Amino acid sequence: MTDKPSLDLDRPSSGRIYDYWLGGTNNYAIDREFAEKQLALAPEIADAVRENRAFLRRAVRFAVAQGVRQFVDLGSGLPTQGNVHEIADEQAPGKARVVYVDNEPVAHAHARILLEDTADPDRHRALAGDFFDGPELWERIVAEGIDPAEPICLLTVALLHLMPAEEEPGRPMAFYREQLPPGSLLVLSHACLETDDDRARDNFGRIGDNYSRQTSVNGSGGIRGRAEIAEFFGGLELVDPGLVWLPEWRPDTPHHGDVTKSRAVAGVARKNG
């Protein structure tokens, strides 16, 4: 593979902004400037993205412990600390298979380059694709070596809150749930602003508008309530502790502080027979 990441410095990249908040190095001045302006509106964002990444790591470890060896990461973003394939390979060396999917060219190119350096690059793949591609995307995922008859861990982490209601993200989610065989897991996290703080609500609304105007994200996104977020799981069975604030989902160590400051909820659900 010889692809090089497209810099696309005409506007900030959502993937590079997230990478910056995580302390990564795959970002540029235009991304850092945008990221710092959003932090001025909501300083808790930096902690929230780190909590989200920590949830991802815990969820992948949980999936491996449940016997799942296949992972599909929709909206994977830029490769950064604690990638899905790295966590899965630590827990089940030589057995996991991961397909990363993102519609942002720079994220896809970075992922391909990252996977070139793995010990067994044929087990882990990166696709340029869009969440809304549905059947076409799933066909390509299967072609990359995901066995539709064996349990799959489908990850939609910090993805759906980028999609406003008018785009109807519940429709493709229902399709992907239907494709999962019994024993599969759906891992999901989503921004959730359950607060009476009008200033916080206004600031997060401004952040959504900023993303819509200045980045690669189309639409101002959707900060949904917990009941709306739960609908994305459909009829799948949420595992304990259910749909909770990010720090509350099976933490490695006790969390001290206001869990609502993570500004996102997360859960893992199992598809039974």
- The residue type of 31 is D
Give the highest mean pLDDT range of 48-52, 171-175, 189-193.
171-175
The answer as to whether 1 is a domain residue is no
Q: What string of DSSP letters covers 54-69? A: HHHHHHHHHHHHTT--
**Which residues fall within 8 angstroms of residue 108, CB to CB, at 6 or more apart?**
100, 102, 126, 127, 128
Pseudo-torsion of CA 206, 21, 28, 8, nearest 10°? -60
The answer as to whether 7 is a domain residue is no
**Which residues fall within 8 angstroms of residue 213, CB to CB, at 6 or more apart?**
none
CA distances from 55 to 61, 82, 273 (A): 10, 11, 26
pLDDT the model gives residue 209:
74
Integer Cα distance of 70 and 130 in angstroms: 20
Q: pTM higher than 0.75, yes or no? A: yes
* Higher pLDDT among residues 14 and 75, named by residue: 75
- Report angle CA 169, 207, 42 to the nearest 5 degrees: 120
Summarize pLDDT for 85-100 with one digit per residue, the tens.
Answer: 999 999 999 999 999 9
The answer as to whether 2 is a domain residue is no
Per-residue pLDDT band at 12 (split at 50, 70, 90): confident
The answer as to whether 9 is a domain residue is no
Integer Cα distance of 125 and 100 in angstroms: 6
Burial 7-42 (b: 16+ CB within 10 A, else e): eeeeebbbbbbbbbbbeeebbeebbeebbeebeebb
Q: What is the mean pLDDT of residues 125-142?
A: 95
Per-residue pLDDT band at 173 (split at 50, 70, 90): very high
Radius of gyration of the chain from Cα atoms? 18
Integer Cα distance of 183 and 180 in angstroms: 8
The answer as to whether 148 is a domain residue is yes
pLDDT the model gives residue 7:
53
Q: What string of DSSP letters covers 198-242? A: HHHHHHHHHHHHHHHHHSS--S------HHHHHGGGTT-EEPTT-
Per-residue pLDDT band at 5 (split at 50, 70, 90): very low
What average pLDDT does the chain have?
87
- Between strands 264-270 and 152-157, the pairing is unpaired
Total number of domains in the chain:
1
Q: With 0-12 CB in 10 A as exposed, 13-18 as middle and 19+ as buried, what is 148? A: middle
DSSP three-state, residue 34: helix
Domain extent for 149: 14-270
| CATH number of the structural domain spanning residue 246 | 3.40.50.150
The answer as to whether 4 is a domain residue is no
The answer as to whether 3 is a domain residue is no
Asked if 187 and 63 count as a contact pair (C-beta separation under 8 A), the reply is yes
The answer as to whether 249 is a domain residue is yes
Summarize pLDDT for 19-34 with one digit per residue, the tens.
Answer: 888 888 878 899 999 9
Integer Cα distance of 221 and 159 in angstroms: 10
